[in-house]
């Protein structure tokens, strides 16, 4: 009887592992931050990390800590908290053109033909690759701030809709 319970518990543990999506973490930037206090300078590190499953989920996390490893871990958990889901077409592109704005950064994204790859720069490229988008053209305008560009890219991806979502919304508006 006890062996049956052991097998059942083992199956439950395995099913939990299967349900958790395997997330990919990519580091955008680690910067050394110094705070001047009465006793002198206090050094800490700030990490910007993009987390995603390369299948339509992505999030950006930021954190500070006294050492690089803890800053990376904290940023990774912050990115997991801020995950968004986005629709991806069969050709691994986005369904339509979209703009995202965060602070002084503006990111424009357009779908591209299959085989063209990710044509984007800096933080926007990393966000798109971790999200699982393979064919897209993106342009960042305004500021060069890596964190704001990454967040603008996530805002743009959050604004994506599918045909079925638009049709459903239009039917609700007509009735």
Domain at 86-164, CATH class: alpha beta
Average pLDDT (136-151) is: 94
pLDDT of residue 163: 81
Query: What pLDDT is recorded for position 130?
Result: 94
For residue 169, the model assigns a pLDDT of 82
Please state which of the ranges 15-19, 27-31, 35-39, 57-61 shows the lowest mean pLDDT: 15-19
pLDDT in tens, 32-86: 999 999 999 999 999 999 999 989 999 999 999 999 999 999 999 999 999 999 9
State the Rg of the chain over Cα: 20
Write down the domain spans for the chain. Answer: 2-81, 86-164
Tell me the pTM. 0.83
Categorise residue 117: left if φ over 0, alpha if ψ from -120 to 50, beta otherwise.
Answer: left
Residues 6+ apart with CB under 8 A from 100: 106, 107, 109, 152, 153, 154, 155, 156, 157, 158, 159
Architecture of domain 2-81: 2-Layer Sandwich (3.30)
- pLDDT of the residue at 11: 65
| pLDDT for 28 beyond 60 | yes
| Residue 8 pLDDT > 70 | no
82-121: per-residue pLDDT in tens? 999 999 999 889 999 999 999 999 999 999 999 999 999 8
* 123 three-class SS: helix
**Alpha helices of the chain — where are they, by DSSP H?**
2-19, 68-81, 122-131, 146-158, 163-174
Residue 24, pLDDT above cutoff 70: yes
């Amino acid at each position: 009887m006890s062996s049956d319970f052991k097998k059942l518990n083992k199956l439950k543990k395995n099913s939990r592992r299967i349900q958790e999506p395997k997330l990919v973490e990519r580091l955008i930037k680690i910067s050394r931050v110094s705070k001047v206090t009465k006793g002198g300078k206090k050094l800490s590190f700030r990490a910007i990390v993009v987390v995603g499953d390369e299948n339509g989920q992505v999030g950006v996390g930021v954190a500070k800590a006294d050492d690089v490893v803890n800053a990376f871990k904290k940023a990774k958990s912050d990115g997991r908290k801020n995950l968004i889901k986005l629709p991806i077409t069969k050709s691994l592109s986005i369904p339509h053109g979209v703009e995202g704005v965060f602070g002084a950064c503006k990111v424009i994204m357009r779908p591209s033909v299959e085989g063209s790859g990710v044509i984007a720069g800096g933080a926007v490229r990393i966000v798109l690759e971790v999200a699982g988008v393979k064919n897209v053209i993106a342009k960042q305008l305004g500021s060069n701030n890596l964190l704001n560009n990454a967040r603008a890219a996530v805002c743009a991806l959050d604004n994506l809709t599918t045909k079925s979502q638009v049709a459903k919304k239009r039917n609700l508006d007509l009735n």
